[in-house]
Amino acid sequence: MSEPIKQIFRFILFLLVQALVLSNMPPLNRFVTPYLYMLFLIWLPFSVPRHWMLVLGFITGFSLDLFTKTPGLHASASVFLAYIRTPFLRLLVPSDTKELKTGSPGIRSMGLTSYAFFVLLLTFFHHVWLVFIEWMSFGDIVYFLGKVFFTTLTSLLLIIITELLFRPIRKRRAD
């Protein structure tokens, strides 16, 4: 499958899972709303130019907003994620990595430690931004900190599961 088609397919899949399942199910707790859709942005190839990254971030977030009826909320958070993604990549990936032209972030291209750190940071900052905007209309610091912490935790759990299901390391090594 060619790269753009693969990405579009992935975009639709992540969006539907997020909008119809994760944002729709009864919450386990008021602090916990798991997010997975930003994995689409995290998994985009290294070679995507930065301004396209921003535009894609906006489109992704806004599409989700149309489902959740919060125009601007997720869009803002995912644009922020798209903006900080490149600096983090520069920080974590050595510039002589040979996959930098063709590959995308993953355990194989970045190494387990850097990749885990990369995902953790992006997810965390995305949630901080998202919950901060949501929180602006009613100030409750416990709610803010609690929601950031627990939502990040559940999202990371989901990301690990997705990672294990769809991008197993052993198979990637074989090819």
Binding stretches for other proteins (CB under 8 A): 19-20, 23-27, 30, 33, 50-51, 54-55, 57-58, 61, 66-73, 75-76, 79-80, 83, 133-134, 137-138
Give whichever of 71 and 94 is closer to other proteins, judged by the CB atom: 71
Give whichever of 27 and 168 is closer to other proteins, judged by the CB atom: 27
Q: How far is the CB of 174 from other proteins (least distance, A)?
A: 37
Give whichever of 25 and 112 is closer to other proteins, judged by the CB atom: 25
Beta bridge partners of 29: 32
How many secondary structure helices (H) and strands (E) does the chain include? 8, 0
Q: How far is the CB of 1 from other proteins (least distance, A)?
A: 24
Give whichever of 23 and 114 is closer to other proteins, judged by the CB atom: 23
Rg (CA), the chain: 16
Contact 4, 44 (CB under 8 A): no
Q: How far is the CB of 38 from other proteins (least distance, A)?
A: 15
Diameter over CA atoms, the chain:
52
Which residue, 105, 131, 129, is CA-closest to 118?
A: 105
Contact 126, 40 (CB under 8 A): no
Give whichever of 4 and 49 is closer to other proteins, judged by the CB atom: 49
Q: How far is the CB of 168 from other proteins (least distance, A)?
A: 30
Alpha-carbon torsion, ordered 88, 94, 100, 106, to 10 deg: -60
Contact 113, 94 (CB under 8 A): no
Q: How far is the CB of 43 from other proteins (least distance, A)?
A: 21
